[in-house]
């Protein structure tokens, strides 16, 4: 780790993730546009935005940052879903498209709670094929994601990685446990806050469900940020009367000061909340406001 305060990697720590997937070839953008839920054609070279891949029933399989370093080159940074598994699944739909889908083993993730001087909002900073920097910060919360060659010297710091994950949740980025894959629609995960899906670009897997829900106003549930002492993924969220409202899908933070994201009814009132699991009594929790600023619009 560098101790030079002018080094953009200063203070960086290793970041566990699902890896990086590469789509390369003259039809990489066309293939991605037809498969992913974001408007890939609107993504300019050198920029990135949030995107994802859905089942035909409109359920989220994987959520990722989609980077376009140059025409014919796309990189997917996957916070949770294994890159190899997503690559295997996508190759089934390549057919005759001129695109190669590979795991980019030459890139590993690290992070820093600092702004990258050459990257901002949807603009990425990059050095050839081997180094990228993405602004993953929000309002008053500067953060930079670095994608560099493995073994770049970034320190292992589990406490910092957990703090990063908690910041993800506060910014409204759901961290999807593979055990809960294909359980949620983009609207249930409030991915409109991230600009992660399009209802105008045309066909892609799950598009009909996403568009119908959007245009008919049928979204009944959405993402809510919670604070509590003992939040954990899979906890039931209860109302004041003990009725189950929904489920915590991810949680992070230090013991006694946890933050979680839960999928709850949009019209649930302002009454007190609690979380519970089978082996413990209910524990009070409270809804909190999201920190804005993580949306990346092409």
pLDDT of 4 strictly over 60: no
Count of domains observed in the chain: 2
Percent of the chain clearing pLDDT 70 (strictly above) = 93
More reliable by pLDDT, 124 or 275: 275
Kind and range of the H or E element at 212? Answer: helix 207-215
Residues 55-103 have pLDDT tens digits of: 999 999 999 999 999 999 999 999 999 999 999 999 999 999 999 999 9
Q: Tell me the pLDDT band of 182, cut-offs 50, 70 and 90.
A: confident
pLDDT of 179 above 90: no
Task: Report d(CA 165, CA 157) in Å as an integer.
Answer: 13
Nearest to 124 by CA among 64, 195, 43, 62: 43
Q: Do 146 and 195 belong to one domain?
A: no
Please report, for the domain that includes residue 208, its CATH number: 2.40.30.160
Chosen domain end from 153, 183, 216: 153
For residue 10, what are the contacts with CB-CB under 8 A and spacing of at least 6?
1, 2, 3, 4, 112, 114
- Output the CA–CA distances (angstroms, integers) from residue 239 to 74, 246, 285, in the order listed: 44, 10, 10
**Structure confidence at residue 228 (pLDDT):** 94
Q: 280 has which bridge partners?
A: 277
Distances (CA, A) of 48 to 58, 182, 222, 254: 23, 24, 25, 31
Domain co-membership, 238 together with 143: no
Check: CB of residue 172 under 8 Å from CB of residue 194.
yes
Per-residue model confidence (pLDDT) at position 62: 95
Residue 92 has a pLDDT of: 97
Mean pLDDT of 42-53: 95
Residue 1 has pLDDT above 80, yes or no: no
Instruction: Write down the pTM of the prediction.
Output: 0.92
Say whether pLDDT at 191 is over 60. yes
Q: 153, 177, 207 — which closes off a domain?
A: 153
What average pLDDT does range 168-197 have in this prediction? 90
Tokens standing for 230? 């003992």
Give the Cα separation of 114 and 125 in Å (integer). 14
| pLDDT of 227 | 96
In a domain, 129, yes or no: yes
Closest residue by Cα to residue 275 from 264, 267, 290? 264
Looking at per-residue pLDDT, the higher value among 150 and 168 belongs to 168
- For the chain, report the end-to-end CA distance as a whole number of angstroms: 33
pLDDT score of 126 more than 70: yes
Q: Which residues contact 166 (CB under 8 A, 6 or more apart)?
A: 252, 253, 259
Mean confidence (pLDDT) of the chain: 90
**What residue numbers bound the domain in which 245 lies?**
191-288
213 and 121 both lie in a single domain:
no
Same domain, 58 and 123: yes
How confident is the model at residue 8, as a pLDDT?
57
Using alpha carbons, select from 35, 3, 54 the residue that is nearest to residue 188.
Answer: 54
Q: Is residue 202 situated within a structural domain? A: yes
10 confidence band (pLDDT: 50, 70, 90): low
CATH number, domain with residue 149: 3.30.1360.120
Residues 138 and 30 in one domain: yes
pLDDT digits (tens, 9 = 90+) for 211-257: 888 888 777 999 999 999 989 999 999 999 999 999 999 999 988 89
Q: Assess if residue 33 is contained within a domain.
A: yes
Question: What pLDDT is attached to residue 2?
Answer: 43
Is residue 173 included in any domain, yes or no? no
Same domain assignment for residues 22 and 139? yes
Lowest mean pLDDT, pick from 118-127, 131-140, 280-289: 118-127
User: What does the alpha-carbon distance between residue 73 and residue 26 come to, in Å, rounded to a whole number?
Assistant: 8
pLDDT (0 to 100) of residue 183: 84
Looking at the structure, tell me whether residues 148 and 27 fall in a common domain.
yes
């Amino acid at each position: 780790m560098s101790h030079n305060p002018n080094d953009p990697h200063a203070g960086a720590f290793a970041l566990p993730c699902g890896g990086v997937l590469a789509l390369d070839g003259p039809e990489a953008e066309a293939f991605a546009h037809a498969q992913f839920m974001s408007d890939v054609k609107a993504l300019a070279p050198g920029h990135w935005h949030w995107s994802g891949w859905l089942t035909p029933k409109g359920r989220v399989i994987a959520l990722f940052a989609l980077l376009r370093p140059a025409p014919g080159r796309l990189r997917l940074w996957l916070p949770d879903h294994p890159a190899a598994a997503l690559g295997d699944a996508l190759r089934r739909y390549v057919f005759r498209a001129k695109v190669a889908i590979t795991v980019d083993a030459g890139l590993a993730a690290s992070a820093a709670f600092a702004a990258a001087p050459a990257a901002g909002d949807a603009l990425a900073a990059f050095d050839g094929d081997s180094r990228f920097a993405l602004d993953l910060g929000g309002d008053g919360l500067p953060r930079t994601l670095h994608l560099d060659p493995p073994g770049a010297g970034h320190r292992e710091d589990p406490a910092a990685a957990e703090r990063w994950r908690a910041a993800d949740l506060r910014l409204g980025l759901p961290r999807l446990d593979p055990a809960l894959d294909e359980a949620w629609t983009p609207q249930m995960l409030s991915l409109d806050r991230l600009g992660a899906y399009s209802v105008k670009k045309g066909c892609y897997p799950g598009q009909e469900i996403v568009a119908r829900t959007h245009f008919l106003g049928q979204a009944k549930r959405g993402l809510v940020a919670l604070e509590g002492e003992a939040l954990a993924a899979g906890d039931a969220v209860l109302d004041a009367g003990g009725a189950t409202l929904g489920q915590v899908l991810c949680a992070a933070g230090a013991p006694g000061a946890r933050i979680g994201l839960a999928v709850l009814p949009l019209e649930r009132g302002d009454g007190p909340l609690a979380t519970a699991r089978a082996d413990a009594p209910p524990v009070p929790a409270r809804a909190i406001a999201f920190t804005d600023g993580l949306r990346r619009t092409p």
